[in-house]
Amino acid sequence: MNLEFKEQVWKAQFKSTEESAAFEDKLRTAYGLTYRYEAARLLIGRSLAEPSRPDPLPRDTKFNSRAIAGENLFGADDDLWLSALILDGQFGPDATVDDLRALTEAHWARGYELVREELVRCGGDEMKLVQRLAEWLPESGVAIDAPFMPASGVAGEIRLKVGSVSRTHPGDKPVDFVINAPGVPPHLALMGAIGRGKTTTGVQIALELVRQARIPILFIDPKGEFVADGRPIGPFAGLSNIGAMEVGTDPLPLDFLPRADTAPMKIARAAMRLRDTLVLCCKSPGDLQRDLLRTAIESVINSGGDRNLESIRETYENELRAAGKENDSIVSRLNELTHLRCFDAKLQPAQFFSQSWVVSLKGLPEELKRLVTLVLLDAVSAFLLDQPDSAVTGGFRSFRHLLVLDEARKVLKERRSESLVDLVRQGRSKGSVVMLLSQDPSDFEGQTDDFTTQLGAVVAFACNQSQRGLGSLQGVFNRKLQASEFGDTYLPPGVAFVKLPGVQAERIRCWQPENSK
């Protein structure tokens, strides 16, 4: 394969069949793909996984009029693609670009048939299709870092109820809302005193969204209400393909560090973000220690060796000794994380966040709960914000992922933690939905005004209030709020003060107390 042949391939035009082109458009919408060649590579690659060559296409095959240049179809990995095709076609020195084009287009057409049939067997579920296609990947024992995760939300509007009852109070009129309405942030906040039903209502809304949109959920469960003996319990028990982890007993199988071949700027950003997260949970380390920790994290990422917290701790201890410093609070915090084995770098972010998880932190000390939560938020924020924009159909954006954070006040009050704020502010275009469960409006006091305006819906059961807390919610309610609107008299059990997109705030009965049924 000489340079002249490669140049001819780059300039050549490759076409799919008309049927395949229409199917590729659907794949691009489902998975949030920007370019036509991304779907084309998926189909060609699937066909190349078959043990035999495809039959040549008939002369009367109807091709789509839109061709893709070889330069775009094969991209930066052209040597790999061309090698695979040349070996598959058993081409000799006299093979021409036309021979390569014919074989490529035959693989393209067969890949379309194979993937289309697989999608039918998956019942039209694009997430299941991704899992099926992953089974064709080589069993090399090396984690594969997919460049994106599918935006598999159902095209069109997604309409949800507010709890199991969802009727106005008074008035008894049914209530629902479109969470992905054009121009509306999809994020939600639920608040209320203990026992008022905010978690139950939030879980009902979350599971209905997961079922309708067919997206994975990450539920961070500090109290351990929904995991027992390594299995999901309660409402999560009926959710298919969900993992349940009790951190402290079992490590989270997430590799949250970028790969060594990642762009240097991304590695530097990831190292600084992890450093800042660790420092938040330590006793005021100095500038030298902060810089040594960043250097240690970058060294572990770039080493190509073990990618875990133990390596970061050991490298940081060596940096301290070289600088003539004793072990400090950063080492102590890393010792806690590694002693309880909170993380195990098994799955790349695309693999981890494509699956649903309930993560219980019940068995951890409070400070370690906060640290694990912050590391998880760093990982999900960095991954989702690096994805292509999710598809928009008829003005309604498809979703990619739902994050639910219980006891969110512990993160909201940490003003220096940027990941959650970034995800709320920037995640909408990526198909990310965030649900925050907190105790009262004062939990939002530490955030700037524009943070709460990124909340599309707020559901407030009776709870404590402060003037600063009420003021922090004025942006989303679009008016000044009164403390009485959040009190027990105004909000009896099961009733919440709710602001939904496009309508005035009103009281809604979300659930029915047992003694009133």
Residues 324 and 465 in one domain: no
Decide if 270 contacts 362 (C-beta within 8 A). no
For residues 254 and 251, give the distance between their C-alpha atoms in angstroms, rounded to a whole number: 9
SS3 171: coil
**Which stretches of the chain drop beneath a pLDDT of 70?**
1-3, 131, 135-153, 414-417, 445-450, 515-517
Residues 300 and 368 in one domain: no
Nearest to 403 by CA among 232, 220, 218: 218
pLDDT in tens, 400-433: 999 999 999 888 876 556 899 889 999 999 999 9
Question: Domain holding 457: CATH number?
Answer: 3.40.50.300
Per DSSP, 513 falls in state -
Domain membership flag for residue 465: yes
Range of the domain at 89: 3-134
- Among 134, 169, 203, the domain-final residue is 134
Q: Which residues pair with 404 in a beta bridge?
A: 219, 435
User: What is the pLDDT at residue 242?
Assistant: 92
Nearest to 26 by CA among 132, 133, 116, 145: 116
Cis peptide before 492 (omega within 30 of 0): no
- Among 96, 118, 134, the domain-final residue is 134
For residues 25 and 467, give the distance between their C-alpha atoms in angstroms, rounded to a whole number: 51
Residues 33 and 126 in one domain: yes
- Among 339, 362, 381, the domain-final residue is 339
Residues 176 and 79 in one domain: no
Nearest to 257 by CA among 336, 204, 312, 328: 312
SS3 496: strand
User: What is the pLDDT at residue 145?
Assistant: 44
Q: Which residues pair with 498 in a beta bridge?
A: 459, 506
Convert 367-406 into a string of H (helix), E (strand) and C (coil): HHHHHHHHHHHHHHHHHHHCCCCCCEECCEECCCEEEEEC
User: What is the pLDDT at residue 77?
Assistant: 78
Terminal Cα-to-Cα distance of the chain (whole angstroms): 77
Domain membership flag for residue 424: yes
Q: Angle, nearest 10°, between helix axes 264-280 and 329-339?
A: 100
pLDDT in tens, 440-459: 888 876 555 457 888 999 99
Give the amino acid at 303.
S
Domain membership flag for residue 181: yes
User: What is the pLDDT at residue 153?
Assistant: 59
Domain membership flag for residue 255: no
Domain membership flag for residue 256: no
For residues 139 and 137, give the distance between their C-alpha atoms in angstroms, rounded to a whole number: 6
User: What is the pLDDT at residue 446?
Assistant: 59
Give the amino acid at 417.
S
Domain membership flag for residue 475: yes
Residues 126 and 205 in one domain: no
Mean pLDDT of all residues in the chain?
88
- Residue 88's Cβ-side half-sphere holds a number of Cα atoms within 13 Å equal to 25
Residues 397 and 487 in one domain: yes
Domain membership flag for residue 140: no
Residues 372 and 468 in one domain: yes
Domain membership flag for residue 30: yes
For residues 445 and 467, give the distance between their C-alpha atoms in angstroms, rounded to a whole number: 10
Question: Domain holding 116: CATH number?
Answer: 1.10.1220.160
Q: What is the pTM of this model?
A: 0.72
User: What is the pLDDT at residue 415?
Assistant: 59
For residues 509 and 175, give the distance between their C-alpha atoms in angstroms, rounded to a whole number: 9
Nearest to 202 by CA among 161, 230, 174, 237: 161
Residues 112 and 177 in one domain: no
Residues 320 and 437 in one domain: no
Residues 105 and 236 in one domain: no
Residues 204 and 120 in one domain: no
How many domains is the chain built from? 3
Buried b (16+ CB within 10 A) or exposed e, 435-452: bbbbbbbbbbbbbeeebb
Nearest to 373 by CA among 399, 397, 406: 406
pLDDT in tens, 167-208: 999 999 999 999 999 999 999 999 999 999 999 999 999 999
Residues 278 and 405 in one domain: no
Token output for 246? 């009790």
